[in-house]
Amino acid sequence: MTDNVFREEVRAFLDESLSPDIKRAGELMTSVFADFEATMKWHRILHAKGWIAPDWPEEHGGTGWTLNQRYIFQEECKLANAPAFPAMGLQMLGPMLMHHGTAEQKDYYLPRILSGEDMWCQGYSEPGAGSDLASLITSAVRDGDDYLINGSKIWTSYAHHSNMIFCLVRTSKEGRPQAGISFILVDMATEGLKVEPIVGLDGTVEQCQVFFDNVRVPVGNLLGAENQGWDVAKSLLEFERGGHNFTIDHKKQMAKIVQQAASQRDSDNRPWKDNPVFSAKLADVAVDALALEFTELRVKGAFEAGGNAGALSSLTKVMGTEIGQRFNELSVEIMGEHTLVKQLDALQPDYKGGSIGPDCGLTTMAEYINNRASTIYGGSAEIQRDIIAKRVLRL
Amino acid sequence: MFIEYSEEQTMLHDSADKYLRENYSFENRQATVRQKSGFSGEQWQMFADLGWLAMTFDEEVGGFGGGALETMILCEQFGKYLVLEPYLESVVLVGGLIAAGAQPAIKERFLSGLMAGELQGALAYLEEGNVGNPHYVETKAEITGDGYVLNGSKAVVLNGPEADLLLVSARIGDNANHSKEGISLFAVDKNTTGMHCKNYKTYDGRSACELQLDNVVVGTEALVGEVGNASTMAAPIFARAIVAVCAEAVGAMDALLTVTVDYTKQRKQFGQSISSFQVLRHRMVDMYMEIELTRSLLMATAWKLDNGSEDAQQCVAALKAKVGKASRYVAHNAIQLHGGIGTTDEFSVGHYFKRLAAIGVMFGSRDSHLSRYMRA
């Protein structure tokens, strides 16, 4: 099948299956997450079609598509405003289970990720361990056939929607800090585990803090061997850093700005697109986005040739997020005072009340605010630059 | 040109700083944000009692005769403590316009009520899709035998829900909708028949509304300034308002730098305070330099406005453009250096960021002011 025929097939499916309410949830995204109910509805539709995990090997429920086809699918989904899926299960834990899990773990957990039965969250950061993740102190102490876990995890995205959490815990204080860390899978219904939501700057909850007070977890829930958790996590972090395609997001942002700049007028009564100062700034960002697009294609080429992204994935994370933030700033400038209106109810896909101000500016301020976190999570821009300094420049 | 505060100005600065430090904690501020009005009536009354609301009005109307410098001094402190009370909307904008052009009866009644802390105002001048252009006015005023009838709608009326008096811009005659000419300003009581407000909160915690005017009938005394002359009358008031928000921005940026420096000293990663990392030290130095450059521009602009300097308007444009750039740099990096905690509602950093973002879009974006600067 040629790529164009494949693209047509995907489009036809999206046309038919993306109901208006699911699409609206995608349109109203103000962060990497869409409305939870709509997202799960879309998850079940894709699961029924067998397209929920294109990046997984076929034997585990993948689609068997080429890298190009997977890229096309991702692009068409985003351009059609399909809600994005939380990365924690499908993109992060899934591949790690495939690499490090026992046959029993794979057979049990992978189908439950595909079906949406399990929602996973990631328990890595702690109040005292952020960029310096290896300094984490949440402990798992052996007690018979169980571990007793004590401590707390923070910035746990979507913990309030999850039933499972994968955690890095300290099982030894010997040697290098990295050497005493284990990777463990925890059922969040276990006694002693408590989730506290953290309200973000836009007034909504995406992050949580998770508390562990003598949480009893069977030894069999380790992923990988005891004290080998850092290696498991390291490959997962690389996956998190290399696994995102920023170009599609940028294209969507650009399309939105073009729409805004055509409809809103500047102080000289010109559509913003005809304002020379603004156009020059937009072009500046667009050129950087184009350069990043070709960089992502180089990374894709390296994958196709069987190699890996190496430190280029740090480069795409830094530049991808920073370019995204610059697009956000331009949107705010065009939409002006309209961005001040806080209307969280109108950001719900099923809201029927009518929104205030131009529809093209409804999400602008929340996106700008929420996207500040993109250069912090998943390895901050400073940590990514350190990685490039060490691995590429050998500094 | 050398700017030195007078004794009175130094006292105003010190007393505002002291009062707010002792009486305007971040925790109380957040409790106020959660209330419907978005500000504290008790604080507003205190501001009146302290003489702040009367500070910039002429002595003949009962004020203290202060100018742009006094506005700057107060607003810088408001920014530092994230003050929510609608000083900008009620005093600088509506108070300024009423003092400049309202007819005697309204002027006397509103200004005395405003300075006593009893009345508030809101300026309704923006229209949907054209908020970047204060001269875009589709709202119509029709002349009748004994006054005017207003019809149209206004977007993002800050403090609209709490205002007693709204100043509404409307067009009389056939000029194009975006023309600077032909705009008039009307003082309309909030309770007048035909005024419909759709209220909401803003991202920076204040209250605002969209205003619909359906056959709103006002008398001839409602006209503020001359017919068709509102843009000329309003120009110096907007210049003052830009100084006010930019001073607020400088105060907010100061606070952000202080809290960021403190945090990076306390926060330990990799066995040391993160303030020991050179990349973060230099970032904070750059924040500091941006703030001080902005402060210089702010002080010079306020001084030039008070002294009627020829290049005052050009400095106003430069100031707003500079604040746009500096406040983003400072706020973004304050969040970045705090990491996750900087993105939470619980911590002050994000609230300074949101106020600075709001200031960034008010009275013209950075781009508009860069263009203005080049033209001046």
- CB-CB: which of A343, A356, A376 is closest to B339? A376
Residue by residue, DSSP assigns A246-269 as: HHHHHHHHHHHHHHHHHHSB-TTS
Nearest-angstrom CA–CA distance, A43 and A51 = 9
Does domain B122-229 fall under CATH 2.40.110.10? My reply is yes
What is the architecture, at CATH level 2, of domain B231-375?
Answer: Up-down Bundle (1.20)
CB A224 within 8 A of CB A151: no
Nearest-angstrom CA–CA distance, A239 and A232 = 11
What separation in angstroms does the CA of A286 have from each of A82, A254, B14, B52, B365?
A: 24, 8, 47, 47, 20
Q: What is the DSSP letter of A43?
A: H
Measured between CA atoms, the residue of chain B closest to residue A341 is B202
- Which residue in B267, B367, B371, B373 has the most chain A C-beta atoms within 10 A of its own C-beta, making it the best mutation to test that interface? B367
CB A275 within 8 A of CB A266: yes
pTM: 0.96
- A8 in helix, strand or coil? helix
Q: Name the amino acid, one letter, at B109.
A: R
Query: Considering Cα of B204, then B206, then B212, then B217, what sign does the dihedral take?
Result: negative
Q: Name the amino acid, one letter, at B255.
A: A
Q: Which CATH class is domain B7-119?
A: mainly alpha
What count of other Cβ atoms lies within 10 Å of the Cβ of residue A394? 6
Q: How does the average pLDDT of chain A come out, rounded?
A: 94
What pLDDT score does A242 carry?
47
Structure tokens at A129: 């361990």
- A5 in helix, strand or coil? helix
A373 contacts on B by Cβ (under 8 Å): 340, 343
Nearest-angstrom CA–CA distance, A64 and A191 = 41
Structure tokens at B277: 């990392």
Tokens 């803090």 locate to A209
Q: Could you say which residues of chain B have pLDDT below 50?
A: none
Stretch (H or E) spanning A195: strand A193-199
Nearest-angstrom CA–CA distance, A29 and B156 = 23
CB A376 within 8 A of CB A42: no
Nearest-angstrom CA–CA distance, A358 and A339 = 10
Give catalytic status of residue A329 as yes or no.
Answer: no
From first CA to last CA, the distance across chain A in angstroms is 47
Interchain pair A272, B132: CB under 8 A: yes
Taking the CA of residue B178 and the nearest CA in chain A, the distance in Å comes to 6
What are the residue ranges spanned by the domains of chain B? Answer: 7-119, 122-229, 231-375
Residue B173 C-alpha from the chain's centroid: 31
What separation in angstroms does the CA of B179 have from each of A201, A247, B93, B376?
A: 38, 41, 21, 19
Nearest-angstrom CA–CA distance, A290 and A225 = 43
**Interface list for A 278-337 with B (CB within 8 A):** 278, 281, 325, 329, 332-337
Nearest-angstrom CA–CA distance, A365 and A342 = 8
Residue A232 C-alpha from the chain's centroid: 19
If we measure between CA atoms, which residue out of B276, B284, B294, B286 comes closest to residue B257? B284
pLDDT in tens, B35-62: 888 899 999 999 999 999 999 999 999 9
A268 contacts on B by Cβ (under 8 Å): 133, 371
If we measure between CA atoms, which residue out of A332, A124, A316, A329 comes closest to residue A236? A124
ipTM field: 0.95
Tokens 């691995």 locate to A391
- A351 in helix, strand or coil? coil
pLDDT in tens, A196-252: 999 999 999 999 999 999 999 999 999 999 999 999 988 776 554 445 789 999 999
What pLDDT score does A197 carry?
98
If we measure between CA atoms, which residue out of B78, B187, B165, B56 comes closest to residue B120? B165
Q: What is the CA radius of gyration of chain B?
A: 21
Interchain pair B203, A198: CB under 8 A: no
What separation in angstroms does the CA of B17 have from each of A104, B13, B48, B239?
A: 65, 6, 16, 24
Q: Could you tell me if A372 lies within 8 Å of chain B, comparing CB atoms? A: yes
Nearest-angstrom CA–CA distance, A198 and B162 = 31
Taking the CA of residue B340 and the nearest CA in chain A, the distance in Å comes to 7
Nearest-angstrom CA–CA distance, B254 and B78 = 12
Nearest-angstrom CA–CA distance, B315 and B318 = 5
CATH 2.40.110.10 intervals, chain A? 120-228
Q: Give the relative orientation of helices B312-338 and B366-375 as an angle to the nearest 10 degrees.
A: 150
Taking the CA of residue A208 and the nearest CA in chain B, the distance in Å comes to 11
- CB-CB: which of A266, A357, A382 is closest to B279? A382
Residue by residue, DSSP assigns A310-342 as: TTHHHHHHHHHHHHHHHHHHHHHHHHGGGGGEE
What pLDDT score does A175 carry?
93
Q: Which residues make beta-bridge pairs with A151?
A: A212
- CB-CB: which of B132, B204, B345 is closest to A267? B132
Interchain pair B200, A343: CB under 8 A: yes
What pLDDT score does A235 carry?
75
- CB-CB: which of A198, A281, A356 is closest to B210? A356
If we measure between CA atoms, which residue out of A248, A341, A352, A232 comes closest to residue A292? A248
- Which residue in B343, B351, B359, B375 has the most chain A C-beta atoms within 10 A of its own C-beta, making it the best mutation to test that interface? B343
Q: What is the 3-state secondary structure (H, E, C) of chain B?
A: CCCCCCHHHHHHHHHHHHHHHHHCCHHHHHHHHCCCCCCCHHHHHHHHHCCCCCCCCCHHHCCCCCCHHHHHHHHHHHHHCCCCCCHHHHHHHHHHHHHHHCCHHHHHHHHHHHHCCCCCEEEECECCCCCCCCCCCCCEEEEECCEEEEEEEEEEEECHHHCCEEEEEEECCCCCCCCCCCEEEEEEECCCCCEEEEEEEECCCCEEEEEEEEEEEEEHHHEECCCCEHHHHHHHHHHHHHHHHHHHHHHHHHHHHHHHHHHHHHCEECCEEHHHCHHHHHHHHHHHHHHHHHHHHHHHHHHHHHCCCCCHHHHHHHHHHHHHHHHHHHHHHHHHHHHHHHHECCCHHHHHHHHHHHHHHCCCCHHHHHHHHHHC
Nearest-angstrom CA–CA distance, A332 and A363 = 10
Does domain A120-228 fall under CATH 2.40.110.10? My reply is yes
Taking the CA of residue B70 and the nearest CA in chain A, the distance in Å comes to 26
CATH 1.20.140.10 intervals, chain A? 244-391
pLDDT in tens, A294-338: 999 888 888 778 777 777 888 999 999 999 999 999 999 999 999
What pLDDT score does B23 carry?
98
Helix, strand, coil percentages in chain A from 3-state DSSP, rounded to 5: 55, 15, 30
Cα dihedral: B270, B272, B274, B279 (round 10): -80
What pLDDT score does A287 carry?
98
Print pLDDT tens along chain A (395 aa): 899 999 999 999 999 999 999 999 999 999 999 999 999 999 999 999 999 999 999 999 999 999 899 999 999 999 999 999 999 999 999 999 999 999 999 999 999 999 999 999 999 999 999 999 999 999 999 999 999 999 999 999 999 999 999 999 999 999 999 999 999 999 999 999 999 999 999 999 999 999 999 999 999 999 999 999 999 988 776 554 445 789 999 999 999 999 999 999 999 999 999 999 999 999 999 999 999 999 998 888 887 787 777 778 889 999 999 999 999 999 999 999 999 999 999 999 999 988 999 999 999 999 999 999 999 998 899 999 998 999 889 99
Structure tokens at B79: 């920014």
Name the phi and psi angles at B137, rounded to 5: -135, 110
What pLDDT score does B105 carry?
95
The CATH number of A244-391 is: 1.20.140.10
What count of other Cβ atoms lies within 10 Å of the Cβ of residue B75? 27
- Which residue in A131, A152, A201 has the most chain B C-beta atoms within 10 A of its own C-beta, making it the best mutation to test that interface? A201
